[in-house]
Amino acid sequence: MTVWVVSLEWNQAPSDVTGDTGIVGVYATEAAADAARRAEQERLHAADEQVYGYSTGEDCYCPRCGVRWGTGAHRERDCNPDGEETYCSECGDELGAEGCDREHDEWTIDVHCTEMIVQGAEEKQA
């Protein structure tokens, strides 16, 4: 039997202190797990966490207007594709004379979706 596990990976793991496993949920379908992962990414992003591959990461933001890709706000904007890149495509900050001033590996949390096999499940179903 295959399941998908949605879990959290903190850059500075609180599980060392709290004992938290970081598991958000276990799902029977990949689609349900992906939806849960996306909801958790959005929730954490709204709580001002730097979510790896969502709040920060390569090509997360439009380099011309600075709006995060995939948001309704970006689709409604009229971005000039020939315009100069003025925002960082990884973090959305405005570029300075030397490019982006931020360290892009400074994310606080990553939300994983991992396919797992339940051991012994076949024996119980027989």
pLDDT of 9 = 86
Average pLDDT of the chain to the nearest whole number:
83
Asked if residues 87 and 94 have their Cβ atoms less than 8 Å apart, the reply is yes
Greater pLDDT, 98 or 116: 116
Greater pLDDT, 93 or 59: 93
Average pLDDT (1-9) is 93
pLDDT of 15 = 57
Asked if residues 36 and 42 have their Cβ atoms less than 8 Å apart, the reply is no
Sheet arrangement for strand 23-27: 23-27, 2-10, 109-117
Confidence label for 16 from pLDDT (cuts 50, 70 and 90): low
Average pLDDT (106-118) is 90
Q: Is 60 exceeded by the pLDDT of residue 126? A: no
User: CB under 8 Å, gap of 24 or more: what pairs does 24-28 form?
Assistant: 24/111, 27/3, 28/3, 28/4
Q: What are phi and psi of 95, to 5 degrees?
A: -75, 140
The pLDDT tens digits of the residues spanning 64-105 come to 888 887 666 676 667 776 778 889 988 888 998 888 888 777
- Helical spans, DSSP H, in the chain: 15-18, 30-46, 72-76, 121-125
In the block, residue with structure tokens 């439009």: 62
pLDDT of 76 = 61
Q: What pTM, to 2 d.p., does this model score?
A: 0.70
